[in-house]
Amino acid sequence: MKRVFITGGARGIGRAVAECYRAAGWEVVAPGRDELDLSRPDAVEAYIARHGGVLEVDALVNNAGINNIIPIRDLELSDWQLMQDVNLTAPLLLTRHAAAAMARKGWGRIVNISSCYSFVTRGGRAAYSATKAALNSLTRSAAVEYGRDGILVNAVCPGFIGTDLTRKNNSPEELAALCAQVPLGRLGTPEEIAGLVFMLGSEANSYITGQTLVIDGGYLAQ
């Protein structure tokens, strides 16, 4: 049985991704925040150490992320660093440890959940957009470095998806305005994102790597 490691697997996109893998017969490892604190690099390393010093998985989905809305003029370095640690440093560390195990088997899949805000942005998203743009770059670098080991690495950039985080950061009026900007006229669903993530992060994918795939209902096409 193949095993997938998913961060942020308790809700939203992460939960939908976990359900896809379970339905396909994979073992799903999705530690909660009480087990794995992604905001502290030392805590990530300690988690790996407690599990034998390696992340023995066949697929890794770096899904967890935070998007604190703070204008640049009010952005404290601590706020900036927190989003860097969760959205970028944690995926780097988990990729490094998972790839070490995957390379020994000559097979692995890594999918990073980025965002359409890695290409465009809105007020208050400076730190978030910066981390997601950097995550896209990390994805390409990892694909190049690990390709010879049979490891495929891609990023998925959701648009406006109907998750708790989207509803937290937008009023009902703002959500209606967002839908009006999407050619399909609606928010995406976590299940729609999960289907793409699973395809990229499973045996269904054999030759796609180093790519940043946008799934946004046509928002960025305008």
Active site residues per annotation: 128
Task: Look at the alpha carbons of 64, 67, 72, 74 in this order and tell me if their dihedral is positive or negative.
Answer: negative
Q: Which two tokens stand for residue 46?
A: 């300690």
Would you say 86 and 41 are in contact if contact means Cβ atoms under 8 Å apart? no
| Chain centroid, CA 116 distance in Å | 12
| Chain centroid, CA 45 distance in Å | 19
Residue 87: closest CA among 114, 117, 108: 114
Beta bridge partners of 157: 214
Residue 87: closest CA among 143, 129, 29: 129
Q: Which two tokens stand for residue 205?
A: 């994918």
Residue 86: closest CA among 124, 123, 37, 153: 37
> What is the C-alpha separation between 143 and 146, in angstroms, rounded?
5
